[in-house]
Chain A
Amino acid sequence: MAYQFDFLAVFDYGDMLLKGAAFTLAMTAVGAVVGTAIGIAGGMCRAWKLHPLDWLFGAYVELIRNTPFLVQLLFIFFGLPSLGVQISEWQASFLAVVVNLGAYTTEIIRAGIQATPRGQIEAAQSLAMGRLQIFFHVVLRPALQKVWPALSSQIVIVMLGSAVCSQIAAEDLTFAANFIQSRNFRAFETYLVVTAMYFAMAWMVRYALNVFGRRVIVARKPQTRGA
């Protein structure tokens, strides 16, 4: 009954854990950047009803949001090659994360854009600004500011969900855990340590996004004296 915990058996594989964590973080970073870019484009098309792009983005959003990430991943990794597209484990993982996050950010950013007060757009129109000018200079930043917390938590959710990428043998943090426990036969300790690592990473990512949001998204220019 008296089980002897042995966490040292996990830390022997420290390098592997760090490499796995780096993979997961890199995947999250790429997903966040590209996914947000997709979200900005998709959000604009959806909010401003730019046919037929808004229908395409609408279908994309519904399809992704109503199917599991794991199935999307398996479809990309195993399904695409049968169409002649060769794709490696890490490419499939990164692609799946981007595609998944892009759908959620589209929906989140759309809500932010739609919350723009009508008067803001009318004021910009009365100044003879064009559609894209209005979007990038007047609409986008307040919209991102409004939805930044939602965007941040979605990025964290996707990072945690990316643990299933180990299923196609992409060498993320969970893959490292699976490998280590098959060597040291300390499954419980290994997964406990890795879970704690994910927890810390989630906290770190949330913190980093928070700081980024404050410094870049919400930031105001320093006040200049005079004038």
Chain B
Amino acid sequence: MLTQFSIWALLDSLAEGAKWTVALSLIAFVCGGIAGLVVLFARVSGKRALTVLSKAYIEVFQGTPLLMQLFIIFFGLSMLGVDVSAWLAAAVGLTLFTSAYLAEIWRGCVEAVPKGQWEASASLALNYREQMRHVVLPQALRIAIAPTVGFLVQVVKSTAVASIIGFTELTKTGSMLANATFQPFLIFGLVAIAYFLLCYPLSLYARHLETKYHAAR
């Protein structure tokens, strides 16, 4: 078998797949981050309708499988007459999924800002928006950095699910190679190592940020 598929050819194909894993992760993280901010602001707005709506949004995306979300987007969009590629469905699905998780993580960070900060800024006559903008968000942002980097690991891993709707990233590439070479142990081992190389540095960095933050307290 390995005469046909030399180890270098295998690694080359996997690297190509990994490129798409990275691309999808970045899109999900950036777009999901932007959408997550919108959901966050709705969630902490103090306005009843917005709070209920954003809470429901978060609960639905955190309470159902990502795979189902991708299926529904894939089939739902095509029902609406949109010609969906696996790429589009995966990008949209992972963006929504990521936004819900990030909004919830960030809400925790906003709520971790001590009550005294709200009171002190209120006593100085700042209104809600000014309190958020000048006092609460800058502090929440510092708390948020470590868990946000940590969640990036989850995003990278979640992109593997996109292989099931036919998006050719690292896992899908691995499955195809495993079928072609009859070397599943080797191939999926390599795929796992590739994910590990992508995720582990991020995990370490998140942990480093966390200790740094706690040391600074």
User: A contacts B directly in the complex (CB < 8 Å)?
Assistant: yes
Given contacts A62-B203, A78-B184, contact A68 B171 (CB under 8 A): yes
A 1-16 contacts with B by CB, 8 A: 1, 3
Taking a contact as CB atoms under 8 Å apart, the answer to whether B199 and A67 are in contact is yes
Surface stretch bound by A, among B43-51, B86-94, B158-166: B158-166
Interfacial chain A residues near B66, Cβ < 8 Å: 160-161, 163
- Which listed segment binds B: A46-54, A137-145, A195-203? A195-203
Complex: A222 Cα to B66 Cα, angstroms: 43
When distances are taken between beta carbons in the complex, the residues of chain B under 8 Å from A63 are: 192, 196
How many chain-B residues does the 8 Å CB contact rule pick out? 38
Q: Is A55 an interface residue (CB 8 A)?
A: no
Do residues B67 and A174 form an inter-chain contact, with CB atoms below 8 A? yes
Measured in the bound complex, the distance between the Cα atoms of B174 and A78 in whole Å is 12
Whole-angstrom CA separation of A199 from B59 in the bound complex: 9
Chain B hits for A199, CB < 8 A = 60, 63-64
Chain A residues near B158: list those with CB within 8 A.
68
Residue among A167, A195, A198 with max Cβ neighbours from chain B (10 Å): A195
Bound-complex Cα distance A59 to B82 (A): 45
Contact indicator A78/B178 (Cβ below 8 Å)? yes
Q: Is A218 an interface residue, CB under 8 A from the partner?
A: no
Q: Verify if B138 is at the interface (C-beta below 8 Å from A).
A: no
Measured in the bound complex, the distance between the Cα atoms of B183 and A81 in whole Å is 11
B68 engages A198 (CB within 8 Å): yes
B65 touching A198 by the CB < 8 A rule? yes
- In this complex, the member of A68, A160, A167, A202 whose beta carbon has the largest number of chain B beta carbons within 10 angstroms is A68
Query: Are B68 and A62 neighbours in the complex by a CB distance under 8 Å?
Result: no
- Chain A 58-89 interface 0/1 with B at a Cβ cutoff of 8 Å (1 = within): 00001101111111101100111111000000
A192 at the A/B interface (Cβ < 8 Å)? yes
Cβ-defined contact, B188 with A78, below 8 A: yes
**Distance A83 CA – B68 CA, assembled complex (angstroms):** 33
From A75, A81, A174, A195, B192 is in contact (CB under 8 Å) with A75
SS of B interface (majority): helix
Most A-side CB within 10 Å, residue of B69, B72, B164, B188: B188
Please tell me if B79 contacts chain A, counting CB pairs below 8 Å. yes
- A residues less than 8 Å from B157 (CB atoms): 66-69
Expressed in whole angstroms, the Cα–Cα distance for A70 and B67 within the complex equals 11
Q: Which residue of B lies closest to A63 (CB)?
A: B196
> How near does chain A come to B154, taking the closest CB pair, in angstroms?
9
Interface string of B116-151 (1 = CB under 8 A from A): 000000000000000000000000000000000000
- B188 & A71 in contact (Cβ 8 Å cutoff): yes
Query: Is B153 part of the contact surface with A, judged by Cβ < 8 Å?
Result: yes
Write out the residue numbers on chain A whose beta carbons fall within 8 Å of the beta carbon of B81. Answer: 1
For residue B20, CB closer than 8 A to chain A, the reply is: no
Is the pair A194, B68 in contact by a Cβ cutoff of 8 Å? Answer: yes
**Cβ of A34 under 8 Å from chain B:** no
| 5 A-B pairs with least C-beta separation | A78-B184, A68-B160, A163-B65, A66-B199, A79-B185
Residues of B within 8 A of A (CB): 60, 63-69, 71-72, 75-76, 79, 81, 153, 157-161, 163-164, 171, 174-175, 178, 183-185, 188-189, 191-192, 195-196, 199-200, 203
20 contacting pairs across A/B (C-beta < 8 A): A3-B79, A63-B192, A66-B153, A66-B157, A66-B199, A68-B157, A71-B191, A72-B192, A74-B178, A74-B188, A78-B188, A82-B185, A160-B66, A161-B65, A161-B66, A163-B68, A174-B65, A188-B72, A195-B69, A198-B64
Residues of A that sit less than 8 Å from B by CB: 1, 3, 62-63, 65-72, 74-75, 78-83, 156, 160-164, 166-167, 174, 177, 187-188, 191-192, 194-195, 198-199, 202-203
